[in-house]
């Protein structure tokens, strides 16, 4: 379980890690002494935010939105997603607009995994997602 934006409370509660949203630009996370089991993950929308997440020592970076959503008409799509993914050695997870219709396109990305709230809420977890 991950807690958003509060690393000290996440450590105190013995959680798996902390999630740092894209708007969190604080770099105080870079010098912390953490156990190997404790993970820092974060989200980004562009190259500058990816660089910030690298400085925050995020192990995984959720890059979004990959596809068009009702909330956001500006999206990366596969080519731009891959170009942005190339700027880091961190593990990238695609997020945003993922559904059954565009699932095959995700296999063309350099993503380590997928994250989708609305699709999972609607359809449940599908155990047959290939490499994910």
Beta strands in the chain (DSSP E): 2-4, 17-20, 39-44, 60-63, 91-95, 113-115
**Predicted local distance difference test score (pLDDT) of residue 81:** 94
Listed as own residue / partner, the contacts of 46-52 with beta carbons closer than 8 Å and 24 or more positions apart are: 46/84, 47/84, 47/87, 49/22, 50/84, 50/87, 50/88, 50/90, 51/87, 51/88, 52/25, 52/27
State how far the Cα of 130 lies from the Cα of 29, in Å rounded to an integer: 34
**Predicted local distance difference test score (pLDDT) of residue 132:** 53
**Predicted local distance difference test score (pLDDT) of residue 63:** 95
Q: Which residues of the chain have pLDDT under 70?
A: 29-31, 125-132
**Predicted local distance difference test score (pLDDT) of residue 99:** 81
The pLDDT tens digits of the residues spanning 26-63 come to: 888 666 778 889 999 999 999 999 999 999 999 999 99
Strand 17-20 and strand 39-44: the pairing is: parallel
| Among candidate residues 75, 121, 78, the one with its CA nearest the CA of residue 103 | 78
- What superfamily does domain 2-123 belong to in CATH? Aldolase class I (3.20.20.70)
State how far the Cα of 34 lies from the Cα of 51, in Å rounded to an integer: 21
pTM of the model: 0.85
User: What DSSP state is assigned to residue 60?
Assistant: E
**Predicted local distance difference test score (pLDDT) of residue 127:** 55
**Predicted local distance difference test score (pLDDT) of residue 3:** 93
| Among candidate residues 65, 77, 41, the one with its CA nearest the CA of residue 118 | 65
**Predicted local distance difference test score (pLDDT) of residue 65:** 92
């Amino acid at each position: 379980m991950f807690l958003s934006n509060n690393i000290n409370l996440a450590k105190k509660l013995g959680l798996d890690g902390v999630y740092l949203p894209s708007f969190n630009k604080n770099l105080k996370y870079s010098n912390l002494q953490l156990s190997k089991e404790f993970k820092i993950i974060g989200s980004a929308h562009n190259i500058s935010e990816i660089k910030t997440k690298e400085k925050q020592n995020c192990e995984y970076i959720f890059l979004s939105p990959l596809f068009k959503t009702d909330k956001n008409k500006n999206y990366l799509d596969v080519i731009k997603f891959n170009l942005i993914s190339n700027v880091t050695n961190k593990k990238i997870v695609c997020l945003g607009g993922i559904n059954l219709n565009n699932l095959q396109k995700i296999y063309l990305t350099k993503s380590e995994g997928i994250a989708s709230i609305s699709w999972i809420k609607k359809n449940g977890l599908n155990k047959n997602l290939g490499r994910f």
